[in-house]
Amino acid sequence: MLNPDGVYLGNYRCSLMGFDLNRHWQEPSPWVHPTLHAVKQLIVQLSQDAKVGLEFYIDVHAHSTMMNGFMYGNVFEEEERVQRQAVFPRLLCQNAPDFSFSNTSFNRDVVKAGTGRRFLGGLLDDMSYCYTLEVSFYSYMAAGSTAPVPYTEDTYMNLGRNVARTFLDYYRHNNFIDDNKPQTPNHINSTEVLSQGRQGNGVGNEKTFGGERGAERKNLGLKD
């Protein structure tokens, strides 16, 4: 929660001083944007610590017009990085009936340059993944349904649980977690990830990717 004073007043976007905090990540002021300034300093510190692998940054926002949960991600010049970035939202789509991969968007709009997702996507290394998770104020359409389902406190909490399950799946697929046997260097291919996909998720080409952190951090490559 980076906007406690604004939320206390009933705002959902602007702080007590009237700033949209998710537009000031580039140069946050310790006086005007103290929460952003503190979190940015912490993330920079962690990113420079050789003992820390900072792999995910996810903003959680409410959306006032669109339905369902969905994500915004970044666009990069490296095609492999673009493909790897699609893995987590595709896995989340399998776990959460209210999450829409078709509404998920990867962009680098100039107007979004000051967001946490955009700024940190440029700051962190290529094995870090930065997203905004947007969730409708109102309702969602599950696959095969004909009418929107209103969000409740319970269904919002279920989406949170499904995000946690998706982290579990992500690290299982990358063999950091194995319930039945010791960890091995083998990694599943993209067809296994997408075989149960919904909402138009296509099956991707099998690829493996390396990075500065070595073969243990290979990830899955996907083609839309």
Which residues are the active-site residues? 134
- CA-based nearest residue to 85, from 19, 20, 139, 130: 130
Amino acid at 67: M
C-alpha neighbours within 13 Å on the C-beta side of residue 12 = 7
Residue 167's contacts (CB-CB under 8 Å, 6 or more residues apart) are 56
- The torsion defined by the Cα of 57, 45, 124 and 212, in degrees rounded to 10, comes to -110
78: phi then psi, degrees, rounded to nearest 5: -80, 115
